[in-house]
Structure 1
Amino acid sequence: MKGGGGAYSMMPMKKRWSWLVIAVLGLVLLSMFVPLAFLLGLHNGFHSVTHSGQRDSASSRSGAALKSPLIKEGLPKHVNGILRNPGPTLPKSVGVGSSTEGPKTAQVIGQNEKTCELKFGSYCLWRQQHREKMKDFIVEKMKDQLYMARAYYPSVAKLTNLELFTQEIKQSIQEFERILSESSSDTDLPPQIDKKLQKMETTITKAKAAVVDCNNVDKKLRQLVDLTEDEANFHMKQSAFLYQLAVQTTPKSLHCLSMRLTVEYFKTSPDDADLSESLSNPDLHHYVMFSNNVLASSVVINSTVMHAKDSKKQVFHVLTDKQSFFSMKMWFFTNSYKDATVQVLNIEDLDLLEGQPSTHISMPQELRISFLSASTSRTEYISVFSHLHYSLPRIFPTLKKIVILDDDIVVQWDLSELWNVDMNEKVIGAVQFCMVKLGAIKSYLGKESYDADSCMWMSGLNVVDLVRWRERNVTRTFQGLVQRRLTETTTLGATMLTFQGLLFALDDKWVLSGLGHNYGITKESINKAFVLHFNGNMKPWLELGIPNYKIHWRKFLNQEIRFLTDCNVNP
């Protein structure tokens, strides 16, 4: 009986040991699967609603990684990658402008880089050249903390029994907003900023530890990202507008110069010299320029004269509007250009186009043409003849041949060679611009017939045979095209169509264009060109001008003149 009883009592002991083994194995398996499940939770973005303060804190830290640059060292590379770039966890939604800088700002700008120049023109080129790198670490850290505090504040505010903590977050947000509105660099920050940073860090840590709905935090993060996108786009458009305004507005110094010259003209009343013989002599080299910019026209004439072998044969006719007429007269009366002759004419006093009121006549202009392809975007600035150019045969009835110069060029060679060019009975000589073909501007050409593969050409430097012009009645051809196509872009299309078959292509060495918008022109190309054309918005007399190119313009400006010093003219 005893032996039987002992054998019977051993059975429960064996069962208990087997259950202990199973329990240990279960704990081992659990210890392996829990970290794996935690990592999978990170990978999926922790979208589920949490009920544990610890898990909620982990989820919040993954959201904080959207902005915070302080990624923890020692974590696996793929985890750090997820923390740095959460990717599709923040889809785009509609938002309203905000002063917060979001984490996707750089990404948004990168996505728009290809179409930036198409939308905003040469402003984007100028912006890339003048972009400043933010080196103020404390300001950037404050923005990061403000971003996270704003993300958690709505969710914490919904919790009960946390009214005091909610008020603390609100006050911290308001204080950071005030500081950042007054400070853009670390040197502008108020004293004891380190304590404020530590206080905000403590506040954010408490917010992460609170039991909040992670979906609400995620929605707020998406909203802040979209608000930052919208504000970045708004500021981009506003900056582009201000840039265009700066381009089209006469600088204060140049306006001062024009006013001072006008006042001086009426004070001194200079007598006009008798230049009638040289002005109408067809054997001299006559240059025509339309301009209302004193400095620009002066640089063109000075650079042309400085490179001329015989300046006595050079005659310059500057056509300007009534507002700039007296300042132009005074400038060229007080400044001499070797032995060259300079005449200033007021276009409003001239008999120009038949049936064309003077109020409808505008100065020469440039047109911006943008091209967008799958890989790149490109913007070109085409300078074309205005209505005024078609009055030249009437303005200069005795002349046979002229060279038309735009006021945004710099001459680096003797232009007298142009009078020896045989144009094969063509009317106009110009450098062809094959970056744009006529087929690319078909919307400007209407239903007229043309060769779509023909290269465009620009004003800037043009040789004109006025004898052939009169024989071909070019002015009437242009007027007929304009009357058939009364649109805002009439001039471009009508000019290209008017001179079809009448263009003589000059050698490319004569003109190098693009110095007013293209940053990629090499120094070697500039040195080889006979004429530099600053077509584009970044004119050399503006502060927006490209510095590497402005030096070629500035060296032909006499800055010792008293009026330049008085008006602080220093382009």
Structure 2
Amino acid sequence: MALAKAYVIIAKEHNNLHLAWELSSKIRSCQFLLSKAAMREEPISLDEAEPIIESLAALIFKAQDAHYDIATTMITLKNFIQSLEDRANAATVQSTVFGQLVAESLPKNLQCIDIKLTADWLQSKSIQELAKDRRNSPRLVDNNLYHSLVFHVVTNGVKYGAMQAWFLSNDFKGATLEVKNIEDFSWLNASYSPVVKQLQDTDSRRFYFEVETCLEAFHRYYKYLNFSNPLISTKVDPQACGWAFGMNVFDLIAWRKANVTTRYHYWQEKNTDKSLWKLGTLPPGLLAFYGLTEPLDRRWHVLGLGYDLNIDNRLIETAAVIHFNGNMKPWLKLSIGRYRPLWEQYVNQTHRYLQDCTTS
């Protein structure tokens, strides 16, 4: 059919509209036959295919007899293939962008919950007083209580009230939760951290970076860093394994001893011209922690539930942590059905916010 389509273009260029129409008609017949076979899930029979192939072949010979030489045909085919590739690439980019937009967009029921939580925070003095009391919890300041389970949730000013209302109005089985507004971190500014300076760049803010493990997809350092630069090639092994940078266990004492923060800032400063890596949060992390990481048992962290359809159930069942990284989050309609119950089992459907915001 590709050759026939090329001759359609050539025939039109030579104003042979009748031949172009005949070829287009046969191409549509071929496409209809393929669609019909796909719908019935059965292969095309010889009796069905033979008359269409013969008539299409006759038209192609007719086009060749019309002095459409092979050189012209090859050039047209090449342009046609290039056009298809461009369209395919554009469709891939478009699909990625649309997928990202869907992943970042909240469903109506979650938007409803967000609004109700924010309203409760603004209207309820008791919740605000409770937040003040929690800020002075010994579990947050007493280093002798390091065996306590404490979660520090950092959010922005827009979501701060909703986060506070949610975590203060629910019980988390004895765990202590602290919600912090990143805009209150006066020390976190462009003069202290090159990362903040980079994030203020509109070009940098447009990029989203997602990491897979070396074990799963062989994500090596050379995939992320510019090894033609001697600053990289003389200090780093290109075959070193990357890791899932969004999920880590840190030894903070070892962190301070190795001065990891300074190392991180060093690499950010060296990359102000983007000569070491283009964009993303992973490359500077890989450099800052180079030589300082230890691999965990794969069962500790099973990731890919937001994009990989074929994760072994046995891996999921034995995992300490499952990670819905990817665009197909379990709270979205485009989520992967077989993984959704893993998340839904922890959602309290009787909660008043969920009840009030349930949509059909």
**Global fold match (TM > 0.5):** yes
Please list, as runs of the form range in 1=range in 2, the aligned pairs for 1:156-175 lying within 5 A after superposition.
none
Q: 1:491 to 1:344 in 2, by over 3 A?
A: same
Q: Percent identity?
A: 28
- Counterpart residue type for residue 333 of structure 1: L
Note closer, same or farther for the CA distance 1:86–1:556 as it changes in structure 2 (3 Å cut).
Answer: farther
Instruction: Determine the structure 1 residue equivalent to 2:53.
Output: 82
2:329 to 539, 544, 548: 539
Q: Distance in 2 between matches of 1:432 and 1:353?
A: 34
5+ residue gaps, structure 1, are 1-44, 49-57, 91-212, 287-312, 369-380, 384-429
Match of 1:341 among 159, 167, 176: 176
Aligned-pair CA distance for 1:340: 1.4
Which residue, out of 520, 537, 556, partners 2:346? 556
Which residue of 455, 475, 480 maps to 2:266? 480
- Distance in 2 (CA, whole Å) between partners of 1:74 and 1:243 is 39
1:277: which partner in 2?
138
C-alpha distance in structure 2 between counterparts of 1:88 and 1:436, whole Å: 50
Q: SS of the counterpart of 2:30?
A: coil
Contact 2:307 2:328 in 1 (8 A): yes
**For residues 283-294 of structure 1, what are the structure 2 equivalents within 5 Å?**
283-285=144-146
Structure 1 position 460, deviation (Å): 4.0
Displacement of 1:75 in angstroms is 8.3
Structure 2 residue runs without a partner (length 5+): 1-6, 12-21, 38-43, 200-204
How do 1:399-438 residues align onto structure 2 when only pairs under 5 Å count?
Answer: 435-438=218-221
Instruction: Name the counterpart of 2:158.
Output: 323
Distance 1:485 1:440 in 2: 17
TM-aligned CA deviation for residue 77 of structure 1: 8.6
> 1: CA distance between counterparts of 2:301 and 2:55?
50
Distance apart, 1:356 and its partner CA: 3.7
Q: Does 1:501 align with 2:291?
A: yes
What TM-score results when the alignment is normalised by the length of structure 1? 0.45
1:345-364 CA-to-partner distances (Å, cap 9, x unmatched) read 111102444624797586x9
Structure with a larger share of its residues in strand: 1
User: Within the alignment, does 1:266 sit opposite 2:122 as a pair?
Assistant: yes
Aligned to 1:461: 247
1:490: how far off? Answer: 5.4
Give the partner amino acid of 1:443: N
1:265 alignment partner AA: W
Contact 2:305 2:339 in 1 (8 A): yes
Deviation at 1:451, TM superposition (A): 1.1
Q: Distance in 2 between matches of 1:502 and 1:361?
A: 25
Which residue identity does 1:266 align to in structure 2?
L
**Number of aligned residue pairs:** 303
Residue pair 1:432, 1:458 contacting (<8 A) in 2 also: no
Measure, in 1, the Cα distance between the counterparts of 2:280 and 2:198: 13
DSSP 3-state at the match of 2:218: strand
Task: Output the aligned Cα RMSD.
Answer: 4.6
- Is the CA contact 1:321–1:346 (under 8 Å) kept in the aligned structure 2? yes
Q: Following TM superposition, by how much is the alpha carbon of 1:558 offset from its aligned partner in structure 2, in angstroms?
A: 1.4
1:66 is the counterpart of 2:30: yes
Structure 1 residue 432: Cα displacement: 6.8
**Partner residue, 2:202:** none
Q: Is the 8 A contact 1:62 1:83 kept in 2?
A: no
Shift of residue 329, structure 1, vs aligned partner = 0.5
Which one-letter code corresponds to 1:457 in the other structure? W
CA contact (8 A) 1:319 1:346 kept: yes
Code of the residue aligned with 2:30 in structure 1: it is L
Do structure 1's residue 255 and structure 2's residue 111 form an aligned pair?
yes
Matches of 1:333 and 1:256, distance apart in 2: 18
Task: State whether residues 261 and 327 of structure 1, in contact with CA within 8 Å, keep that contact through their aligned partners in structure 2.
Answer: yes
Structure ranking higher on relative contact order (CA contacts 8 Å, 6+ apart): 1
Query: Which residue type is aligned with residue 264 of structure 1?
Result: D
Q: Deviations over 1:83-118 (max 9, x none)?
A: 49759949xxxxxxxxxxxxxxxxxxxxxxxxxxxx
SS at match of 2:322: strand
Cα deviations by residue, 1:351-400 (Å, 9 ceiling, x for unpaired): 444624797586x99955xxxxxxxxxxxx317xxxxxxxxxxxxxxxxx
Q: What amino acid is the match of 1:250?
A: L
1:470 maps to which of 256, 263, 266: 256
**CA separation in 2, counterparts of 1:468 and 1:59?**
72
8 Å contact kept, 2:207–2:280:
no
Per-residue deviation, 1:562: 1.4
The 1:518/1:74 distance shift into structure 2, 3 A limit, reads: closer
CA shift in 2, pair 1:484/1:551, >3 Å? same
Instruction: Specify which of 222, 225, 235 is matched with residue 442 of structure 1.
Output: 225
Q: Is the 8 A contact 2:214 2:241 kept in 1?
A: no
Name the aligned partner's letter for residue 531 of structure 1. V
Q: Distance in 2 between matches of 1:549 and 1:84?
A: 50
Q: Secondary structure at the match of 2:172?
A: coil
CA distance in 2 between counterparts of 1:85 and 1:438 reads: 52
Match of residue 121 from structure 1: none
1:246 Cα deviation after fit: 1.1
Q: Is the Cα contact below 8 Å between 1:317 and 1:343 reproduced in 2? A: yes
The residue type equivalent to 1:281 in the other structure is D
Are the equivalent residues in 1 in contact too, given 2:30–2:52 (CA < 8 A)? Answer: no
Q: CA 1:495–1:76 in structure 2 vs 1: closer, same or farther (change >3 Å)?
A: closer
Change over 3 Å in CA distance of 1:444–1:479 after alignment to 2: farther
Deviations 1:507-528 (A, max 9, x none): 1110011111111112122112
TM-score, normalised with respect to structure 2: 0.68
Contact 1:559 1:565 in 2 (8 A): yes
In the other structure, the counterpart of 1:382 is: 211
Quick one: distance in 2 between partners of 1:87 and 1:492?
58
Q: Tell me, in whole angstroms, the C-alpha distance in 1 between the residues paired with 2:113 and 2:177.
A: 20
Letter in structure 2 aligned against 1:507: D
* Cα distance change of structure 1 residues 63 and 452 upon mapping to structure 2, 3 Å threshold: closer
